[in-house]
Amino acid sequence: MDRKVLITTPYREKGERYEYWSSNVDRKITYTYDKNNSNGLRFLKKNIPEIDILEWPTWTEYRKALKKDYDVVGFSFFTHEIPNILEMVKEAKKKNDPELWAGNYGALTYGMEDHFDKIFVGYSEEEVAEELGTEIGTLKHPMIVDYIGTRIGVKGFPLGVLFTNRGCTQNCKFCQTPVFCSDPYKIPLSSIEEAVKNYKESGVTEIVIEDENFGMWKKHTEKVIDILHKHDISWYPMTRIDLLDNNLEDWYEKGFSGTLIGVESLNQDTLDNVEKNIDVEKTLDLLERLEEKNSFVIGYYMIGFEEDTVPKIKKDIRKLNDYSIDLTQICVITPLPRTPLWEEISEKYGIIEDDWGKWDTKHLVWDHPNIDQKEMRKVLGWGFRKAYSPLKFIRSPIKYYFRRKNRFGYIKTQMKMLKDFIISNRGVKTELGEGQI
């Protein structure tokens, strides 16, 4: 490889970190879920070690890195991060005018071709390698470790991140995944097993599977589950209601401990309208079955559909709150670029927000027939409080304790909790370390 390449995420202010829990909950007392690794960049670095990566550098760190006179500077970003990225692009041009690349979901945004020399669509290890005149062979899976902890800084346990497939075979109208990765594929089992072994050896025994749609290939899924079970891993997949509904009992026997799942709406017509292909009654029944098993649940929920009104949103969130969802991620429905929803909404109602920084699914960006931007912010804030009752703070660790005890028994559970505590507060060493590489 004869070109020097830097790939970076957007910069952040000094000391600023992304914490998932407080980004979705308006309560003083919550847990923390620190997510400060860039999955995409970790995969790139693992498969093309010659490139340099920067994960959320400060502005000063970014400027310092540019002094190395890279031939190529690439940016990995989401739509709402565009304002920061364009500042970084301007800065890069002032230096030695490198070739500029864009990747990740934000690169799908209209107009990006005006700012970058090359746009990579989808997971691009192979394409980047090819561009640099090299090959990656079998895709390797990096170690990526996040932590669940408390607001006073004490961590509870580490969570390894695993991907078993990429893309999705569904076509929900609001989702960019079918465009981002139009040809879904499996991560090789050998790479998955290698990653699981590395986690286990480092003492990480809880793994969150961040597939867009875990379980969409039956045979591959069964083999992945066997690997996880063999290594005694507790796992939490991001999956669909229908898949989990069909498999919950079998998966539970093999270490399933919870899920990240798209509830999206409690209104069947709304779900049908966005072609989500799930059944509300089935969802509610599944939430009850998950509770019986003390499963941890992150529920994705959307507000601001065409037919929504503020009272209706409030009524549904109150209803949702009757179920044992540990953390509800409430988003405002957003017609993201290149989705069928963009076409539909922009034509029928019109886009009213031209600041990409507000396209973070926490702002209303189109001309809603019943709710204005200010009202949407207000009802979203209300939902952030309402959907996380103080009781949840107590219920989550109780569920955690009982699902472990039911699986491993009393003594082993105590030992594991102590070990997790020590490991997470000491920090898990990954092959790439944390932050700047």
Residue 175 engages ligand SF4 in binding (rule: CB under 6 A): yes
x-or-dash string of contact with ligand SF4, 208-227, rule CB under 6 A: ----xx--------------
Residue 172 engages ligand SF4 in binding (rule: CB under 6 A): yes
Q: In this chain, which of 168, 195, 302, 333 binds ligand SF4, going by CB under 6 A?
A: 168
Residue 283 engages ligand SF4 in binding (rule: CB under 6 A): no
Question: 334: burial class by Cβ within 10 Å (0-12, 13-18, 19+)?
Answer: buried
* Minimum CB distance to ligand SF4, residue 277 (Å): 8
d(CA 159, CA 234): 10
Q: In this chain, which of 170, 205, 283, 334 binds ligand SF4, going by CB under 6 A?
A: 170
Q: What is the 3-state composition of the chain as percent helix, strand, coil, each rounded to the nearest 5? A: 40, 15, 40
CA distances from 333 to 251, 270, 297, 302 (A): 31, 12, 21, 6
Residue 173 engages ligand SF4 in binding (rule: CB under 6 A): no
DSSP assigned state of 15:
T
* Minimum CB distance to ligand SF4, residue 364 (Å): 20
Residue 243 engages ligand SF4 in binding (rule: CB under 6 A): no
* Minimum CB distance to ligand SF4, residue 212 (Å): 4
d(CA 232, CA 254): 8
Q: Which stretch binds ligand SF4 (CB under 6 A): 96-104, 163-171, 192-200, 387-395?
A: 163-171
Residue among 44, 63, 61, 54 at smallest CA distance from 9: 54
* Minimum CB distance to ligand SF4, residue 405 (Å): 33
Q: Which stretch binds ligand SF4 (CB under 6 A): 3-11, 16-24, 56-64, 169-177?
A: 169-177
Q: Are 162 and 172 in contact (CB under 8 A)?
A: no
**Single-letter amino acid code for the residue at 54:** L
Task: Give me 123's structure tokens.
Answer: 């997971």
Q: Is 82 helix (H, G, I), strand (E, B) or coil?
A: helix
d(CA 291, CA 262): 16
Distance, CA of 398 to chain centre: 25
Q: Which stretch binds ligand SF4 (CB under 6 A): 123-131, 167-175, 302-310, 375-383?
A: 167-175
Q: Which stretch binds ligand SF4 (CB under 6 A): 103-111, 172-180, 221-229, 397-405?
A: 172-180
Q: Which stretch binds ligand SF4 (CB under 6 A): 147-155, 170-178, 281-289, 422-430?
A: 170-178
Residue 240 engages ligand SF4 in binding (rule: CB under 6 A): yes
CA distances from 368 to 139, 237, 307, 393 (A): 43, 33, 9, 34
Q: In this chain, which of 177, 257, 295, 328 binds ligand SF4, going by CB under 6 A?
A: 177
Instruction: Compare residues 176 and 396 and give the one whose CB is closer to ligand SF4.
Output: 176
Q: Which residues contact ligand SF4 (rule: CB under 6 A)?
A: 168, 170-172, 175, 177-178, 212-213, 240, 262
